[in-house]
Amino acid sequence: MVNNKKITFLVLLVLLLFVVSCSDKNSIAMPVSQESQKASDQTDQILKVKQDLEKAKEELQTKNTELEKKLAEIKDGSNKDYSSVIEQAKPSVVTVTTELGTGSGFFINEELLGRSGGDDFVITNYHVVKEMAEPNYIFYKDQKPIGKSVILQDSSGEKRIGVIFATGNDNLDLAIILKSNLLMSEATGELIERQKAYRSLDLIDKAKPGEEVIAIGSPRGLTNTATKGIISAIRPGDIQDFAGITLIQTDASVNPGNSGGPLLNLQGKVVGVNVAIYGDQSAGLNFAIKSSELLKFLDLVKSGELEKLKQEEIKENIFDKEKGDDDCEKLGCIAGTQFVGSNNSDVYHVCSSSYVSRIKPENLICFPTEESAVDNGYRPSER
């Protein structure tokens, strides 16, 4: 019995020691478990911060992309702010008035002509000044302008005298006018010498279909008129009457009087020079000479090549006296007393070899009297 009690006591003692031992182990293990949990929590927090940073980075990239897109739209003019383009360009656009009608024009940088004397040059179409100037010619000699005068009216209404400086031809339908410092008095019509500087328009030879454009000019004499449209197509020399000349086709509305005015992109740069309307004016078939062609023309003038071309043209058309040829007689006209007209013009001239030699004989018509010329719809030449 005593032994049984001892055994029971020993068992209880062992159980007590075991319980105490387990209790000690748990008390030691708890701090380690808490540290592990703390470390795990910190890891989760770091991962969350990292995820938040990545999300913020993505949002920032999206906003930057949107901002860059908006800046690009502003830069290329896609912000649709037509009014600012028009207002900035208008002071650089003029109405060109000749003895026979009106057209439009715009100022260019004189450096494009290799000059730096502070001169103001205006671009227009050759057909605007055609009846006042020969084709393919520079009307400047001994540092003096020798061309005929036109009137340049700016956007403020001031009228100044301009002088024809250089011309293209019926195919390359461009001309240059040199603005003088002579201002026409609105009250008396007298000429007053008064300087005024004009801002030139920049040229750009890049244009593509679908690009929005603005035409500015003086249709039917209505100054400061602006219309908008798109570039419908680029025509690389495939339009009749402009063989080999790259044109821009546009649906921007133009009318008689717009000729010579600028066709602008939405950055306010000149992509073309308005030149022709095809068909009904409501058809939207309007054309401008691409700026790349204008730049070539300016290079011809700048380099002196235009003068060389003119001299070659004159040599080709020199009347061969030794063979007894007479250009007027070829047409059945008598030089000095009868008259000739061209089938691509509506004016007549006194028949002379110097005039006939400049035009292909098949394009000329002989009139025995002035009355017969008038009866056929011709009028006297101003030249």
DSSP secondary structure string for all residues of 2-17: HHHHHHHHHHHHHHHH
User: Looking at residue 347, what is its pLDDT?
Assistant: 82
pLDDT tier, 159 (very low <50, low <70, confident <90, very high otherwise)? very high
For residue 91, pLDDT beyond 70: yes
Beta-bridge mates of residue 215: 227, 263
For residue 334, pLDDT beyond 90: no
User: Looking at residue 81, what is its pLDDT?
Assistant: 75
Q: Compute the distance between CA of residue 230 and CA of residue 252 in angstroms, rounded to an integer.
A: 6
For residue 312, pLDDT beyond 70: no
CB 95 within 8 A of CB 152: yes
pLDDT tens for 12-46 read 555 556 555 555 544 444 555 666 777 777 788 88
User: Looking at residue 313, what is its pLDDT?
Assistant: 56
Percent of the chain with pLDDT over 90: 41
Beta-bridge mates of residue 364: 342
Higher pLDDT, 371 or 105: 105
| Residue 127 annotated among the catalytic residues of the structure | yes
Percent of the chain with pLDDT over 70: 78
> Angle at which helices 305-316 and 291-303 pack, to 10 degrees?
80
Average pLDDT, the chain: 82
| Residue 173 annotated among the catalytic residues of the structure | yes
pLDDT tier, 311 (very low <50, low <70, confident <90, very high otherwise)? low
CB 170 within 8 A of CB 344: yes
Burial group, residue 23, by CB count within 10 angstroms (0-12, 13-18, 19+):
exposed
| Residue 259 annotated among the catalytic residues of the structure | yes
Q: Compute the distance between CA of residue 39 and CA of residue 36 in angstroms, rounded to an integer.
A: 5
Catalytic residue among 259, 291, 327, 349: 259
Catalytic residue among 92, 120, 127, 253: 127
Higher pLDDT, 208 or 99: 208
Which residues 6+ apart lie within 8 Å of 231 measured at CB?
207, 208, 209, 210, 211, 213, 248, 249, 250, 271
User: Looking at residue 321, what is its pLDDT?
Assistant: 33
C-alpha gyration radius of the chain = 41
Higher pLDDT, 314 or 237: 237
Q: Tell whether pTM > 0.95.
A: no
pLDDT tier, 339 (very low <50, low <70, confident <90, very high otherwise)? confident
* φ and ψ at residue 118, rounded to 5 degrees: 85, 20
User: Looking at residue 309, what is its pLDDT?
Assistant: 64
Catalytic residue among 92, 104, 154, 173: 173
